[in-house]
Each structure stands twice: as structure tokens, then as C-alpha cells.
Chains A and B, each alone.
Chain A
Amino acid sequence: MDLQYMIGILPEFLSVIPVTLLIVVVSAVAGFLLSIFVAAVRIKKVPVLNFMTDLYISFTRSIPILLQLFLFFFGIPVFLQMLGFNVSNISAVTAAIVCLIIYNGAYMSEVIRPAYMAIEKGQHEAADSLGYNGLQKFTRIILPQMTPIALPGLGNALIHLIHDSSLVFAIGVVDIMGLATIISSGSFGMQQVEVFLTVAFVYWGISFASEQLIRYLERRKRRVLRRTGYDMTREAGYNV
């Protein structure tokens, strides 16, 4: 075990962290927005769209993420050509981000939808009976009660996303994992353990940081839950 070597290659890994972060942050934010749309379609049972989102969720859940990455990387240019755009290839980072947005949108929508469904009908009716319009009801009454229920699931989704993003090296993105494969082949397979152990520590660090963020949000969540008297286990079917 060559600690010296590990410390030596660490800065290289730190320099590609922004690539991983870019992929994770963009996929998380855009995926979250997409998931709100998907959840809304499924909650409101919008004709046609509802059927399409069912199909979409079933697809993304059933197909391994690695395979999806390849499909998007090779498929997006073909798709764009079919639409008449003259695109022969797209960057691996773009394909990775698009793929993870789509994947994450499906995943998170299945966190948001049950959180919405967990709010009792009576809360809706009380707001309706007082003449709140849809937006007022949602922002003042429903959303504040949904948030603490959805948070743990969204936190899990984020951790999953960070882990899934380590697969994008397979389509040629030089992220942390991509760099690791480059370095390890550059050293003729002599220091595999050191290289991948270093990578493990880097991911540990990133996950640890994001867990702190989620913990902070959950501390706030507990305060809200205590006030509302909401019993997670009983009413949402799960707990953190």
C-alpha cells in the first residue's frame, strides 16, 4: 500500500470533482422540476399524458442505468437527426446529464406523488370551503405539509444520484471515476487498490457533505412534524 502515491494523485481527483458536481447538481435540480410535472400529471390523471408518464416511469425503473446511459449517448444524435437537426454526435457530459435528469425525474416523482397523496382530503376541503383558489391552497396548506414527508425520500434520491453518476465514465466522461480508470490503466495496473481506494474516499467525502445538508433539512422537518402531530409511520407508511 503506497500512501504517498495516494496523496500524490488526490489533487488530480479534486480537480475533476466539478465535473461530477456539475452532473449531479444539474440532474438533481432539473430532475426535481421534471418530477414535479410528472407527479402533477399522475395526481391529476391528465388524459394521454398520464398514460405516457406511466410508460416513462416503468421504462426508467426497469432498465439498468448503465444501459440507459448508452441508449442516450448513442440515441440522442439519432433522435435529433430524425427531427431534422444536423447533429452527428453530442458530448458525453450532455448525454449523461440528459439521461440522469430523465432517470431522476421518474425516481423523484414517485417520492413527491405519495407525499401529496398523504395529505388528508379534509385539508383540501377546508381550504376549498373557505374559497382558496388552487394555487393558494397548494402553497399555503398542502405544500408545507408535503415537504417534511417528501424530504427523506428526496434525500435518498440525491445519494442515489451521486452514486449513479459514477457510471457515466462508461460513455467516456472524465469524472472522478473516469479519471480513476485513466490513471489506473496509466500505471499498468500496478496500483489499482490505491487508485480506487482514493476514489472511494472522494465519494465518501461528497456523500458525507450531502448527508449534512439533508440532516439539516430533516432537523427542520422534525420540528414541523412535531407541530403538526403527523405520524410518519402510520400515515405515510415509512419513516426515516
Chain B
Amino acid sequence: MLSLRNLKLSFDGSQVLDDINLDVKKGEVVTLIGPSGTGKTSLLRCINLLERPDSGFISLGGLDYDYSRISKKEALNLRRKTAMVFQQYNLFKNKTAIENVMDAQMVVQKKSRKEAYEKSMQELKRVGLEAKVDAYPSQLSGGQQQRVSIARALAVEPEVILFDEPTSALDPELVGEVLKSIEEVAKSGMTIMLVTHEMSFARDISDKIVFMDKGRIAESGTPEEIFSQSTNTRTQQFLNKFYTAVH
């Protein structure tokens, strides 16, 4: 459903992503883990072209594009097939919760106000925020904002939702409610790509774990394969560091 071939990205001469090949099946939850600065977030941002890869190919929901010569219109097409949940939520500050969820449906998908409203209410209910529909982002907690942003992503019915460290900016006591919403999304059959440092969550929710190191995919497999049976030294080092930090 989503596949990346030979994707390369560099910033100012340094190679951020090197020859990435990745396949995501419909309804699959794929989680990217690995040390900071290994390009996990950059990889997500290449998919919706917030970063522009130097070369490579993407196919997503019936679209096939060559990254090295992608037009503005093609970029828009790709973006309209994806949605992103950001680390810093990035809700539109000038709009209420429900307006945040409605806007893209009306502006980008040209749905009627009524249709967009009903869809938005449904998605806000799904993340448990039907009581906060008229609140502005500034009146919501970080966890609530992130849940609105999940509803906003769901409402445009994308082929895949890209979660970019959705809980990293949250106070620890607010992480749970957001993870619960993500779990809901996963259960609904939505295709998900997730970057996170919540290892036990990744283990529970994912169909596939991708371990990234220094701009490359070092290893990928089922949670079981990566967390318990990995023979890759870098993976083991990373996970050991993580376990010692937790315990």
C-alpha cells in the first residue's frame, strides 16, 4: 500500500537518509525506533514531503512518484493521501477544536459544512473530547490538544497516518490518554507509521518494528523478532540502554 524505494535525503552535504526501502501493508502498524538523530522523523516527513528527498521512489494508494522530479501538484496529491500528528500538536491556534477538525475537510476535500461537522463530531467522540469541541487549543491541555490533532488526522480519511513522536512533548501523566487514542486508531484498521520512544507501547501495538541507525534501516521484523530475538549488535545496544534506563 505504501512503499519506498532507494530513498535518499541529505541536509547540507550530510546524508540523513541513505537508501531506505520500506513496505507498509494496508492496516499495518509500523513503528520506527532507534537512537536520536538517525532520521526516523525525517523519514516520516519525506513521505508527506515536508522534507524533500534527493532521490527515490514512493508509491502510495495508487500513486507512483519519482522523488527527484515531483511537481507541486503531485506533492499536494501525496499530502492529501496522508495525515500527520506532530510532536508539538500544531493545532491551528485561530480555530476551535471542532474547527480544527472540520477545516481541511471543507477546504481541501470540499465537503459541506454539515457533512464536515458530523464527521468531526464523530472523530472527536472517538478520542473522547466531545465535551471540548468549542475550546481553543490554548484552553486545552497538551494531551487534549494531541487528541484533537489525532481526530483532525482521522477526519480526512487518509491512506496512512504519520505519528511523529506524538507523546514526546507531553507531561508524563498525559501520555496515557494519547497512547490510548492511538491504540483506538490502530484497532480501527487505519494504516499507521509511528515514531516513538515508548518502547513497551511500540511492542504492544506494532505489527512491524523498524530499527533505524545512522540514516539506514538496520533491521526490521515483528516486535517479537526485534525485542527478543535480535542478533543485531546495534539493536541490542540500543534496547539494552533503554531497558537499563527504565529499570
Q: Contact residues of A with B, CB < 8 Å?
A: 120, 122-123, 125-133, 136, 140-141, 144-145, 224, 227-230
Contact partner of B107 (CB less than 8 A), chosen from A128, A132, A144, is: A132
Tally B residues with Cβ within 8 Å of A: 27
A137 smallest CB distance to B (angstroms)? 9
Interface mask (B69-111 → A, CB under 8 Å = 1, otherwise 0): 0000000100110111010111111100000000110011000
Query: Do A131 and B136 form a contact, CB below 8 Å, given A122-B90, A123-B90, A125-B90?
Result: no
B136→A130 contact, CB < 8 A: no
A125-B86, A136-B107, A140-B107 in contact; A130/B94 too (CB < 8 A)?
no
Q: Of B84, B136, B137, B139, which contacts A129 at CB under 8 A? A: B84
Residue of A nearest to B152 (CB): A130
Distance in angstroms between the alpha carbons of A144 and B79 in the assembled complex: 23
Besides A125-B90, A129-B50, A227-B138, 16 more A-B contacts (Cβ < 8 Å) are: A120-B90, A122-B86, A122-B90, A123-B93, A125-B84, A126-B86, A128-B48, A128-B79, A129-B82, A129-B83, A129-B162, A130-B79, A130-B104, A131-B79, A145-B94, A228-B93
Given A129-B83, A130-B83, check contact A123 B92 (CB 8 Å).
Answer: yes
Query: How far is A12 from B152 in the complex, measured between Cα atoms in Å?
Result: 62
Among B79, B89, B107, B138, which residue has the most Cβ atoms of chain A within 10 A? Answer: B107
Pick the residue among A122, A129, A140, A145 that contacts B79 (CB under 8 A): A129
| B156 proximal to A (CB < 8 A) | yes
Contacts of B90 in A (CB 8 A): 120, 122-123, 125-126
What is the minimal beta-carbon distance from B137 to any residue of chain A, in angstroms?
7
A131 contacts B76, C-beta separation under 8 Å: yes
- Given A125-B50, A128-B50, CB of A230 within 8 Å of CB of B108: no
- Name B's A-contacting residues (CB within 8 A): 48, 50, 76, 79-80, 82-84, 86, 88-94, 103-104, 107-108, 136-139, 152, 156, 162
Which among A127, A129, A144 has the greatest number of chain B C-beta atoms within 10 A?
A129
Given the interface pairs A129-B79, A131-B108, A228-B138, the reply to whether A122 lies near B88 with Cβ below 8 Å is yes
Are B92's CB and A126's CB within 8 A?
Answer: yes
**Total A-B residue contacts, Cβ distance less than 8 Å:** 71
List, in ascending order, chain B residues with CB within 8 A of A129's CB. Answer: 48, 50, 79, 82-84, 86, 162
Q: Residue A227 contacts which of B48, B91, B136, B152 (CB distance < 8 angstroms)?
A: B136
Q: Can you pick out 14 interface pairs between chain A and chain B where the beta carbons lie within 8 Å of each other?
A: A122-B88, A126-B84, A127-B92, A128-B79, A129-B79, A129-B82, A129-B162, A130-B80, A130-B104, A131-B80, A131-B156, A140-B107, A144-B94, A230-B93
The answer for the CA separation of A133 and B110 in the assembled complex, in Å, is 13
Q: Are the C-beta atoms of A133 and B76 separated by less than 8 Å?
A: yes
Shortest beta-carbon distance from B171 to chain A in Å: 17
Whole-angstrom distance between the Cβ of A143 and the nearest chain B Cβ: 9
Residues of chain B within 8 A (CB-CB) of A131 are 76, 79-80, 104, 108, 156
Q: A130-B104, A130-B156, A132-B107 are in contact. Are A228 and B83 (CB under 8 A)?
A: no
Asked if B91 and A126 make an inter-chain contact with CB atoms under 8 angstroms apart, the answer reads yes
Task: State A141–B93 Cα separation when bound (angstroms).
Answer: 8
